[in-house]
């Protein structure tokens, strides 16, 4: 009787694990699909160690499918500058990590890696050259599933300076 009960419990545990795995994958897929569409909005950016915040407006197109998120478009600050912006990340179900690249700085493409918690992916960014006095920053991308997207980049400003927001964008899906 004990052996039969042990087998039943083991079998139930295995079945539960098999059923939970697709559910976790489905939840990630649902999150990834939230990035589909046209995103417009704006916020502020600090371009370098000597400048203060500059207001910007962005128009981006997003696509989320098959464990991948792609976002591309332009951000503008009046006649001051126009910058192409691109995020390409893929979700790895084995590690639970999102990995990819971010383009938006004049120094080149940053490598990014992060993990999702709820509606937010928290990324570590590594730039190919110094930005704001170092090569590392943190980015969070929050998509609440109701057509609102927020991108926040925190970085040290200057050698030994405080960590602060250097990009803060709020976008809506049109």
Query: What contacts 24+ positions apart, CB below 8 Å, involve 55-58?
Result: 56/169, 58/85, 58/169, 58/171
Please write the tens of the pLDDT for every residue from 3-54.
433 333 333 332 333 333 333 466 899 999 999 999 999 999 988 888 889 9
* pLDDT, tens only, 135-158: 999 999 999 999 999 999 999 887
Residue 155 lies in a domain: yes
CATH of the domain at 160: 2.40.128.20
How far is the C-alpha of 140 from the C-alpha of 124, rounded, in Å? 9
**Where in the sequence is the domain holding 141, given as residue range(s)?**
34-173
In a domain, 38, yes or no: yes
This prediction has a pTM of 0.82
Number of domains in the chain: 1
The answer to whether residue 131 sits within a structural domain is: yes
């Amino acid at each position: 009787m004990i052996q039969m009960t042990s087998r039943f419990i083991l079998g139930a545990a295995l079945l539960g694990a098999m059923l939970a795995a697709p559910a976790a994958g489905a939840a990630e897929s649902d999150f990834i699909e939230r990035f589909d569409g046209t995103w417009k909005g704006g916020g502020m950016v600090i371009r370098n160690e000597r400048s203060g915040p500059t207001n910007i407006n962005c128009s981006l197109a997003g696509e989320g499918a098959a464990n991948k998120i792609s976002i591309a478009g332009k951000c503008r600050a009046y006649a001051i500058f126009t910058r192409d912006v691109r995020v390409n990340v893929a979700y790895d179900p084995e590690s639970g990590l999102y990995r990819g690249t971010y383009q938006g700085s004049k120094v080149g493409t940053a490598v990014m890696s992060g993990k999702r918690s709820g509606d937010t992916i928290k990324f570590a960014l590594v730039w190919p050259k110094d930005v704001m006095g170092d090569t590392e920053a943190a980015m969070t991308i929050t998509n609440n599933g109701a057509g609102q997207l927020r991108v926040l980049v925190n970085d040290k400003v200057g050698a030994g300076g405080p960590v602060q927001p250097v990009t803060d964008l709020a976008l809506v899906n049109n």
